[in-house]
Amino acid sequence: MNGDKLRSVSEKTINRLSLYRRLLENRFGKGHEHVFSHELAELACVTPAQVRRDLMCVDNSGSTSRGYSVQELVREITAVLDAPGGQRIALVGVGNLGRAILSYFSGRRPGIAITAAFDSDPSLAGRVINGCRCHPMSELSEVLRGSEIGAAIVAVPASAAQDIADRLVAAGVRGILNFAPVPLKVPEGVFLEHRDMTMSLETVAFFARRSLGDAE
Amino acid sequence: MNGDKLRSVSEKTINRLSLYRRLLENRFGKGHEHVFSHELAELACVTPAQVRRDLMCVDNSGSTSRGYSVQELVREITAVLDAPGGQRIALVGVGNLGRAILSYFSGRRPGIAITAAFDSDPSLAGRVINGCRCHPMSELSEVLRGSEIGAAIVAVPASAAQDIADRLVAAGVRGILNFAPVPLKVPEGVFLEHRDMTMSLETVAFFARRSLGDAE
DNA sequence: GAATATCTGTGAAAGCAATCACAGATAGTT
DNA sequence: AACTATCTGTGATTGCTTTCACAGATATTC
């Protein structure tokens, strides 16, 4: 990787780098060979200072009065975010949400692919959904150990989530994106992101209501 | 609402209150009439001090040596989070993700219901999915103005998202949960939550890889 | 009923993240 | 070539969130 700088990069910065890259990719070639921090900030809905701070961890030097080369910036962010040979992800839970995730990510990012799915429903075993092969849950450890999968998405019911997480960690997974509506316990060193939709929706509902109340 | 305290509550605290309530509901009646801050903290994967701080904004007083009454705590959190008569939410975009969201929230929370859905595909108009009626996109303003909907979920492609957001805001929506992979611009006073799955997955992939690198 | 143990509520401290503000750089203009 | 304008990179600052640590409260024990 990029050595010392990256060891201390915050999660929020990585989040925004991912966003910056996508925004830049969408604009490149459309008459935008260069971009200023305030332009990228406008696209990303953050401040220019935030953009420049975030970019301190990539090996790119913007030029004064011309800004950043879009192409170079994309390349440098990619050098930070993507694994050189691409990265494989597993999906556990092929219900409504799991399928939506599969279809959503199918070919969306070149550097990342969901290459194995698991579900407790045996009738799914062997099926291929959006280019991803489904396996029975019992094969989880076996399939993961035979692959280069280091991260996984959990989209199972709350009751099954912790057990799945334990098995994923035991099989060597070091990053989990959790959509189950329950917090997971993972050992030190395993990165965990909890994306609880109920939490998100209740929070939006609360602040929408408070905002209405404030206006009256 | 609860007056002064709530005016300054942070988003993070509201997020956790939502989580606490669900964890408590799941446990109540199973021999857990009371709960200590360290027990709830364990369930939520946070520190006991965090729990106590968060609970400062609800009108509940835990008793020393017995902790909090689970039932009372749920009631008090509900008084903060839920609208007295329940809250209605709109969903825009009934694709794979939109349907997964509809099925996920169907009857999940008593205080919140997705009561109207919109999609640009005319063949969906009039259909009822998971108890939610689908409307053509052209009826968005009309339907919203005739209802008590103050918040919405956006699950449309990136290219359509900003236009949808503008129309939602114009129709009086004050909170948006955005799943489209693009940041949205909304006026001051409108609460916006961006849940970008690509960002989340790339971030998990990054830290999983870094964690593996650290271990070697 | 005094002593002990263990809890809550919260002021104070520590830790993180975002913003400010300016030095240094570079292009354009006259 | 000096002057102006405007950018980046970053030390310093501000603001927010979490954690610490302890006073005060309440059961329990002897």
For every residue of A64-86, DSSP letters joined together read: TTTBEEHHHHHHHHHHHHS-TT-
Task: Report the residue of chain A nearest B169, measured CA to CA.
Answer: A208
A1 pLDDT band (50/70/90 cuts)? very low
B65 pLDDT band (50/70/90 cuts)? confident
Lowest mean pLDDT among A180-189, B60-69, B101-110, B121-130: B60-69
B133 pLDDT band (50/70/90 cuts)? very high
B189 and B126 in a common domain: yes
Q: Is A34's CB less than 7 Å from nucleic acid strand D?
A: no
Contacts of B181 in chain A (CB under 8 A): 22
In this structure, are residues B77 and B58 in contact, taking their beta carbons and an 8 Å threshold? yes
Evaluate whether residue A208 is within a structural domain: no
* Domain span holding position A53: 4-80
- Total number of domains in chain B: 2
Evaluate whether residue B211 is within a structural domain: no
- Residue A6: enclosing H or E segment and its boundaries? helix A4-7
Task: Report the residue of chain A nearest B153, measured CA to CA.
Answer: A201
The amino acid occupying position A47 is T
| Mean pLDDT over each residue of chain A, to the nearest integer | 94
CATH number where A145 lies: 3.40.50.720
B99 and B63 in a common domain: no
Evaluate whether residue A211 is within a structural domain: no
pLDDT at A149 over 90: yes
In this structure, are residues A156 and A178 in contact, taking their beta carbons and an 8 Å threshold? no
pLDDT at position A102 is 98
Evaluate whether residue A105 is within a structural domain: yes
Last residue of a domain, one of A50, A80, A110: A80
Q: Is B11 on the interface with A (CB under 8 A)?
A: yes
B72 and B98 in a common domain: no
CB burial readout A96-120, b (16+ within 10 A) else e: bbbbbbbbbbeeebeebbbbbbbbb
pLDDT at position A14 is 98
Evaluate whether residue A213 is within a structural domain: no
In this structure, are residues B174 and A150 in contact, taking their beta carbons and an 8 Å threshold? no
CB contact set of A134 (below 8 Å; sequence gap of 6+): A94, A117, A118, A119, A124, A125, A126, A127, A128
Torsion angle of C-alpha atoms B93, A215, B1, B149, degrees rounded to 10: -20
A61 and A141 in a common domain: no
B61 pLDDT band (50/70/90 cuts)? confident
Within a 10 A sphere around the Cβ of B123, how many other Cβ atoms?
Answer: 9
Best of A26, A202, A214 to mutate (most B CBs within 10 Å, chain B): A202
A126 and A49 in a common domain: no
In this structure, are residues A16 and A50 in contact, taking their beta carbons and an 8 Å threshold? yes
Which residue matches tokens 């993961």? Answer: A144
Asked if B201 and A103 come within 8 Å (Cβ–Cβ), the reply is no
pLDDT at A124 over 50: yes
Handedness of CA B127, B132, B138, B142 (dihedral sign): positive
Last residue of a domain, one of B49, B79, B109: B79
Contacts of B105 in chain A (CB under 8 A): 197-198, 201
B136 and B73 in a common domain: no
- Rounded to a whole number, what is the distance in Å from the CA of A25 to chain B's nearest CA? 13
Last residue of a domain, one of B79, B105, B122: B79
pLDDT at A62 over 90: no
**CA nearest to nucleotide C19 C1': residue:** A49
* DSSP for residue B138: G
* DSSP for residue A147: T
A65 pLDDT band (50/70/90 cuts)? confident
Asked if B19 and A196 come within 8 Å (Cβ–Cβ), the reply is yes
Task: Report the residue of chain A nearest B105, measured CA to CA.
Answer: A198
Evaluate whether residue B206 is within a structural domain: no
Please write the tens of the pLDDT for every residue from A80-121. 999 999 999 999 999 999 999 999 999 999 999 999 999 999
A35 and A127 in a common domain: no
Chain A (27-56) residues lying within 8 Å, Cβ to Cβ, of chain B: 43-45
Please write the tens of the pLDDT for every residue from B15-54. 999 999 999 999 877 778 999 999 999 999 999 999 999 9
Q: Which tokens sit at A56?
A: 């301190």
Q: Is B20 on the interface with A (CB under 8 A)?
A: no
Percent pLDDT > 90 in chain B is 88
| Mean pLDDT, residues A34-58 taken together | 97
CATH number where A25 lies: 1.10.10.10
pLDDT at B2 over 60: no
A191 and A133 in a common domain: yes
B102 and B65 in a common domain: no
Evaluate whether residue B102 is within a structural domain: yes
Q: Is A97 on the interface with B (CB under 8 A)?
A: yes
Percent pLDDT > 90 in chain A is 88
Evaluate whether residue B214 is within a structural domain: no
In this structure, are residues A19 and A77 in contact, taking their beta carbons and an 8 Å threshold? no
Q: Is B175 helix (H, G, I), strand (E, B) or coil?
A: strand
A194 and A94 in a common domain: yes
B186 and B118 in a common domain: yes
B180 and B124 in a common domain: yes
pLDDT at B114 over 60: yes
